[in-house]
Amino acid sequence: MYKVLLVDDESIIVEGLTRIVPWERYDCEVIGSANDGIEGAQAIRRHKPDILFTDIRMPGEDGLGMLAGIKSEFPDLQVTVLTGFRDFSYAQRAIRLGVTRFLLKPSKMDELEEALSTMTKNLQRVGKTGKQAEEQAPANHSEVASSFIVRQAVAFIEEHCAEKISLCDVADKCYVSQWHLSKLLSKYTNQSFYDILNGARVARAKELLHNPALRISEISEMVGYMDTTHFSRIFKKSEGVSANEYRNLKIG
């Protein structure tokens, strides 16, 4: 039996899908549900489903980010999107990330069954060949999803570098596990999370150093370091000169 997970912030939709879709006809069973993207990603790690039916326009959710996280971390997972968001370009981007079907709400039974049939056939192919069904497509969906996640993670780190953020915080925003995000950052940037975070903080500090009214200790706090000595060590390692020397060189 193929395991199915349902993710939607409307419980009536989850209940309806659970009851009306003839899951057994396709050797499937619903093994769980979730009400948002982060909870859904956690449920996927916990239950290891084969098939996912999910909305991507839930309150407070980044739909494409959620899809990218899911497909990057679980490339063999078959995904059908159910949404009321009628935007063709959005659908195209979702499909490039590896979504099998993109269905508009309210979905008809024949559409749901066609999607389910296609996903189970893809899974059967994976079982026979030992390879992802998506490998037959022109684009490598897993690579597209992974690079999407890395861009999203780096942008989040740069935007929030002055705050007290952790790898866990960024992973949650990208709908992936800490381990998976760490692996992706290393692969695509050749840097660790802390390398990227320190780089963003130093870049911000260099901008602030052009203001002679700001003390080094103030700048240290403004970019996220409570310990000025630690900031000074990071800055010199990055730039080859101390923060004071950098200031003198730039504004002399």
What tens digit of pLDDT does each residue of 220-244 get?
A: 999 999 999 999 999 999 999 999 9
d(CA 54, CA 235): 44
CB 72 within 8 A of CB 142: yes
157: tokens are: 């780190």
* pLDDT, mean of residues 57-66: 77
CB 64 within 8 A of CB 90: yes
For 2-136, CATH number out of 3.40.640.10, 3.30.470.20, 3.40.50.2300, 3.30.830.10 equals 3.40.50.2300
**Banded pLDDT at 158 (limits 50, 70, 90):** very high
Domain made up of 196-251: CATH architecture: Orthogonal Bundle (1.10)
Question: Which residue matches tokens 């949650």?
Answer: 172
- Beta-sheet pairing, 101-104 with 51-54: unpaired
The pTM score is 0.76
**What are 3-48's pLDDT values in tens digits?**
999 999 888 999 999 999 999 999 999 999 998 888 888 999 999 9
Cα 11 → chain centroid: 24
CA-based angle 41:21:117, to the nearest 5? Answer: 80
Topology match between the domains 2-136 and 196-251:
no
Question: Which residue matches tokens 């494409």?
Answer: 64
CB 176 within 8 A of CB 71: no
Residue 139 has pLDDT above 90, yes or no: no
**Banded pLDDT at 156 (limits 50, 70, 90):** very high
